[in-house]
Amino acid sequence: MRPPSSSVPPETPVAQQARDWLLRLASGAMGEPDMQAFEQWLLLPGHRHAFERQRVLWRSLGARPQTSVVLQQPVRRTQRRWSAAVAVLMLFCAVMSAPELALRLRADHRAGVAIRHVSLPDGSTAVLDAGAAIAVHYGQATRRIELLRGRAWFEVVPQAGAPFRITVGEGVVEDISTAFVVSREGDRVDTAVEQGRVRVAARPDQGWMYLQAGQAAAWSKRGVAERGASLAPDHVAAWRRGELLLENAAVTQVLSELQRYRPGHVFVRGDLSALPPINAALRLDQSEQALDALAAGSGLSVTRLPFGIAIVQAQEDALPARR
């Protein structure tokens, strides 16, 4: 079978639907019901071929050479439609990025898809995981870091009369001469200590909980801080060394972690809960190779699309046999 042509496809209803699906995939906002509807759409006659044509065309848009001056009118109309489609995509991305713009206005330091090291005004160090953002509030007797998103590791320089605090919503993590990590995912906050001690409180009206090296705690919005399982201190924030270390982790959890370090969205097709848990030791500066290694070790297939999109699903022989 010949590969799909990269020429401008006709504006048939199926071609328009294929382009719509591609735009929705690029938005990263498709849930499981949407992915199921996409799978059903692909099964219809001619739809997969139409989608592949659109995929090849979108890849070629950025490097398309200048067209000749003499063109037939129908082709001009088609190109105008595609120009309009690109404009719609840009507008859609602008709307979707409104929360990102608000975050940029609040943040003093942000990390993209790579880990970022930040030197704080007092000589302390912060390491931001991919996608993390912090705001810095320093005064004469105040050292406060607001964790706006993601997770960050801190190594604190002691300073008499100026406690070092991390605030996440109402919650507070206060340093007592230490190195520690704090993460914020949705309404959940986690913290773990690598060296020294910290004290934490989920709300101002709660008493302090003290943590030492290898100890962790977590809470949800308006919840109570609870101790977590102990862990080896060298496993605390292993990501800052460029390593993803997960023990007995679900495949979906590993995919979620890898998502931080990829420019495009990862979609999961089907149910992966039946796949056995894995132990993962992956390099985060090689996220594509890490994704391929995970796929090879877990019986997954990966389909890559434009805009960095990856669609992951289980291979048939990797799933337990149905009884």
User: Would you say residue 3 lies in a domain?
Assistant: no
Full domain range(s) for residue 264: 242-318
Q: Are residues 110 and 227 in the same domain?
A: yes
**192 in Cβ contact with 237 (< 8 Å):** yes
Nearest alpha-carbon partner for 192 in 221, 157, 162, 166: 166
Q: What are the two backbone dihedrals, phi and then psi, of residue 287, each rounded to the nearest 5 degrees?
A: -65, -35
**295 in Cβ contact with 266 (< 8 Å):** no
**31 in Cβ contact with 267 (< 8 Å):** no
Q: Are residues 152 and 219 in the same domain?
A: yes
132, pLDDT greater than 60: yes
More confident position, 96 or 280: 280
More confident position, 268 or 177: 268
Q: What is the pLDDT of residue 277?
A: 92
User: Would you say residue 64 lies in a domain?
Assistant: no
Q: Which helix (H) or strand (E) holds 248?
A: strand 243-249
Q: What is the pLDDT of residue 90?
A: 55
Q: What is the CATH number for 272?
A: 3.55.50.30
Point out the domain boundary residue: 203, 231, 259.
231
How many structural domains does the chain have?
3
More confident position, 32 or 266: 266
Point out the domain boundary residue: 231, 253, 279.
231
User: Would you say residue 263 lies in a domain?
Assistant: yes
54, pLDDT greater than 60: yes
**211 in Cβ contact with 173 (< 8 Å):** no
Query: Which stretches of 87-159 are assigned E, i.e. beta strand?
Result: 109-110, 116-119, 125-128, 133-138, 143-155
311, pLDDT greater than 80: yes
Nearest alpha-carbon partner for 152 in 139, 169, 135: 135
3-state class (DSSP) for residue 47: helix
User: Would you say residue 8 lies in a domain?
Assistant: no
Q: Are residues 137 and 210 in the same domain?
A: yes
Q: Are residues 225 and 270 in the same domain?
A: no
Q: What is the pLDDT of residue 5?
A: 47
Give the pLDDT confidence of 237-259 residue by residue, as tens digits.
999 998 888 889 999 999 999 99
**258 in Cβ contact with 294 (< 8 Å):** yes
User: Would you say residue 237 lies in a domain?
Assistant: no
Q: What are the two backbone dihedrals, phi and then psi, of residue 319, each rounded to the nearest 5 degrees?
A: -85, 145
Q: Are residues 215 and 283 in the same domain?
A: no
Q: Are residues 247 and 206 in the same domain?
A: no
Mean pLDDT of 191-200: 95
More confident position, 131 or 308: 131
Q: Are residues 149 and 183 in the same domain?
A: yes
Q: Give the C-alpha distances (Å, rounded to integers) separating 316 from 270, 271, 276.
A: 11, 12, 14
Q: Are residues 111 and 223 in the same domain?
A: yes
18, pLDDT greater than 60: yes
Q: What is the pLDDT of residue 89?
A: 54
How far is the C-alpha of 198 from the C-alpha of 186, rounded, in Å? 23
Q: Are residues 131 and 206 in the same domain?
A: yes
User: Would you say residue 66 lies in a domain?
Assistant: no
User: Would you say residue 6 lies in a domain?
Assistant: no
Q: Are residues 291 and 310 in the same domain?
A: yes
Q: What is the pLDDT of residue 315?
A: 86
Q: What is the pLDDT of residue 184?
A: 94
Q: Are residues 36 and 154 in the same domain?
A: no
CA dihedral of residues 126, 127, 129, 130 (deg, nearest 10): 100
**178 in Cβ contact with 196 (< 8 Å):** yes
Q: What is the CATH number for 176?
A: 2.60.120.1440
**191 in Cβ contact with 182 (< 8 Å):** yes
User: Would you say residue 5 lies in a domain?
Assistant: no
Q: Are residues 114 and 92 in the same domain?
A: no
Counting residues of the chain whose pLDDT is more than 90, the rounded percentage is 41
Cα radius of gyration (the chain):
24
Q: What is the pLDDT of residue 212?
A: 95
Q: Which helix (H) or strand (E) holds 83?
A: helix 73-96
